[in-house]
Structure formats: structure tokens, C-alpha cells
Amino acid sequence: MEPPVDPVDGKIADTTDGPPAVSVCPKLIVLTKRADFLRASHAKRQGTPGIHLQARERNADETAAGIRVGFTCSKKVGNAVARNRAKRRLREVARAILPRHGQSGWDYVLVGRKDITATLPLPQLEKDLIRALGKVHG
């Protein structure tokens, strides 16, 4: 296979000028241990119409760096299908907002709300998360 040729001057195209193939935004670390969720539940909280946010700043002795995030929906949200739909939407909102508005060294838990998280438009959920982060950090 031959390298691509630039149609203008006939030279071999330089493929390093374009955007990187891998996203450069920081990767979110997902909380999986119950103890992390419990510690976040006893820290700062902020409710919005679409999302309930729990946030805590990690201690200096905790080794994890970056932003950690967890997602949860109680059975009040609905059956398994409704809970999974709400959590998928929470993950998408977190992926879009937390790298820009979250702070490194913090744990965030996004809690879905009954009948609202799964039905609100994504831009509204994003605004709710930005507002909640502003209140927690402000």
C-alpha cells in the first residue's frame, strides 16, 4: 500500500498535521466500590431538577488522581430498563461536562431522578450538572 499523495503538489501527504486519533480530554475514573459511594453521600450535595450531585474532595493520602465519578439510580426510578436508560444518559452528560467543569482530586456521584433523568433533553441535563458543579465548588 502506498502513502497518500497530496493532489495539489504531488508530494506524499503528511498525516501528522491533523487532530490526534485518540481523544485528549482526561479520562474519567469510574467509582466501583461501595465505600467510595458512601463517602460521597456524606459530603457536599446539590440537587437540580434532572440530577442530584454528591461531591467530595479526596484526602491527600488517597492515591487516585484525576476526576472520579459514579452513577446510581434507585429502584424508585423504575424497572431495570428505566434505570439503565437513566444511567446511560448520566454517563453521557458526565463525559461531556466533567472534564471541563469538574476539578481534579474530587469524587462525584450522579444520582438519577424518577421520571425526569430519562426524559429531559441532554442539553438541559448538561446545564443542570454545570449549575450543580458551580454550587458545590462556589
- 3 state SS of 73: coil
Find the mean pLDDT for residues 19-46.
Answer: 81
- pLDDT level of residue 18 (50, 70, 90 thresholds): low
pLDDT greater at residue 92 or residue 16: 92
The per-residue pLDDT of the chain, averaged, comes to 86
Lowest pLDDT segment from 25-29, 84-88, 116-120: 25-29
Give me the percent of the chain exceeding a pLDDT of 90.
Answer: 67
Angle formed at CA 103 by CA 100 and CA 108, multiple of 5 degrees:
100
- 3 state SS of 1: coil
Delimit the domains of the chain by residue range: 33-137
pLDDT in tens, 69-116: 999 999 999 999 999 999 999 999 999 999 999 998 899 999 999 989
| The residue count for the chain | 138
* CATH number of the 33-137 domain: 3.30.230.10
Give me the percent of the chain exceeding a pLDDT of 70.
Answer: 81
- The identity of residue 108, as a single letter, is Y
Find the mean pLDDT for residues 48-64.
Answer: 89
Give pLDDT, residue 65. 78
pLDDT greater at residue 3 or residue 98: 98
Q: What phi and psi values does residue 44 have, to the nearest 5 degrees? A: -70, 145
